[in-house]
Amino acid sequence: MRFERRESASPALTVLAPLGAIGAALVVAGLLIAVAGANAFEAYGLILEGAFGSRLGVTETLTRATPLILTGLAAAVAFRARLWNIGGEGQFYLGALAVTAFGLVPGIAGAPAPVAILACLVVGALAGTLLLLVPVTLKLRFGVDEVVTTLLLNFVAILFVSMMIEGPLRDPLAFGWPQSMPAPDAALLPKLLERTRLHAGLLIALALAVAVWWVQARTVFGMRARAAGLNARAAGFAGVPLARTLALVGCLSGGLAGLAGAIEVLGVKGYVTTDLSPNYGYSGIVIAMLANLNALGVIAAALFSAVMFVGADSMSRALGIPSYIADVTVALSLLTMLVAIFLTQYRVRR
C-alpha cells in the first residue's frame, strides 16, 4: 500500500472531510458509551436535546461557543504561519485577570459603558499578546522551540493568576474563597436575551472571525503569514520579512486568546477564579484543526464543540455517563480530522 499525492483536492472532498472526521469520532465515542453500559443513540439524542431542546440549551451552547471561537481563531492564526502557540490557556487567563486588575484603575468604574468595554477588551488582548511575545521573542532571538515554552508558560500563567487572586486582587467579600475583585460594572457586556447568559461577546467573536478571515484571505500580511507557514525558506527568499511577520502573527494570536478571557469575564462570570476555563485554550487547538485553519470554519467547529460540551452535561445527569465523553469526542475528532485532511491530499494505491 502506498500513498500518491493528488493533483488538487476536490471541493467535495474538502467539505466532506470534517463531516467524515466528526462522524468517525462519534462512532468511536459511541462505542465507549456502549461499553459503559448505556445506549449510544439515546446518549447522542440526549446530547442534542440538551444543546438544542430548549431556549436555555441553545443560549448556553452559544455562550459556550463564544470563547471557543476566539481561542480557535487564536490557534488558527498562529498555526497558519507555523507558529505553534499552544499557550492559549495561559493567554486566556492573563486576559481575564488583566480586566479585573484594570477595573481598579480610578475612573474606569465611572466611564461610559462603550468606553469602559472597549478599554477592557484592549487591555485583555494586550495581556494575552504580552504573554505570547515571551516565547516568540525566545524563538526569534535564541531559536528556542515555542511549543514547549508556550506549554510551560500555561502553568506559570495559571499560578500567577492564583497568586494574584489570593493576594493583591483578592475579593475581600468572597467569604475566603479565592476569587478576584469583580470586573467594573460599567464594562460588563450587555445581555443579548433576557434571563439567559448569552451576551454581546458572541457578536464580537463572530465579527472577529470574519475580520480574521478577511485579513488572511485579502491582505499582504495574511499572505505573508501563510507563505511563512508553507515554506519559511522560500518565503524568506521571496522577500517576506519572516521575523516581523511571525511577531505580528504572535501579537494577533495572543491577543485573540487574551480577548477570549476578557470577554468570558465581562460577559459571563464577572470575576476570575482558577477554574474559569474548562480548557478553552486547548480546545481552541482542536477547533482550529477541525476548521482546517479557516477562520470562518472556526465558527462551525466551535459550535460543534459547544454542542458536545453543553449537551454532554445534561446527558451525563440523565444516563450517568461521565461528561468527559465530550472531551474524548472532541479530542478524537482532532485525530480523525488529521487523517481526513490527509485523505483529501493523497490517494491510497495498492
Radius of gyration of the chain (CA): 21
Residues 285-304 that bind another protein (CB under 8 A): 285-286, 289
Residues 6 or more apart in contact with residue 152 via CB below 8 angstroms: none
Which residues face 199 on adjacent strands? 191
Residue (of 63, 39, 31) closest to 315 by Cα position:
39
Strand extents, DSSP E, 177-267: none
Stretch that binds another protein, among 10-18, 94-102, 146-154, 299-307 (CB under 8 A): 146-154
Residue (of 166, 183, 176, 161) closest to 274 by Cα position:
161
Provide the 8-state DSSP code for 191: B
Is 243 a binder of another protein (CB under 8 A)?
Answer: no
Residues 73-132 that bind another protein (CB under 8 A): 79, 84, 86
Residue nearer to another protein on the CB measure, 84 or 271: 84
Judged by DSSP in three states, 119 sits in: helix
Is 142 a binder of another protein (CB under 8 A)?
Answer: yes
Stretch that binds another protein, among 95-103, 113-121, 158-166, 228-236 (CB under 8 A): 158-166
The one among 34, 105, 109, 156 contacting another protein by CB under 8 A:
156
The one among 159, 203, 210, 211 contacting another protein by CB under 8 A:
159
Judged by DSSP in three states, 182 sits in: coil
Is 32 a binder of another protein (CB under 8 A)?
Answer: yes
Residues 252-291 that bind another protein (CB under 8 A): 282, 285-286, 289
At 76, list the grid cell.
488558527
Cell 445506549, located at residue:
39
C-alpha 326/C-alpha 314 separation (Å) is: 11
- Three-state SS annotation for 264-324: HHHHHHCCCCCCCCCCHHHHHHHHHHHCCCCHHHHHHHHHHHHHHHHHHHHHHHHHCCCCH
Is 318 a binder of another protein (CB under 8 A)?
Answer: no
At 288, list the grid cell.
482550529
Is 3 a binder of another protein (CB under 8 A)?
Answer: yes
Residues 33-72 that bind another protein (CB under 8 A): 36
Residue nearer to another protein on the CB measure, 2 or 195: 2
Stretch that binds another protein, among 53-61, 120-128, 163-171, 203-211 (CB under 8 A): 163-171
Is 2 a binder of another protein (CB under 8 A)?
Answer: yes
C-alpha 294/C-alpha 208 separation (Å) is: 13
Residues 173-192 that bind another protein (CB under 8 A): none
Is 133 a binder of another protein (CB under 8 A)?
Answer: no
Is 335 a binder of another protein (CB under 8 A)?
Answer: yes
Binding positions for another protein, rule: CB under 8 A: 2-3, 32, 36, 79, 84, 86, 138, 142-145, 147-149, 151-156, 159-160, 162-163, 166-167, 282, 285-286, 289, 320, 322, 324-325, 327-328, 330-332, 334-335, 338-339, 342
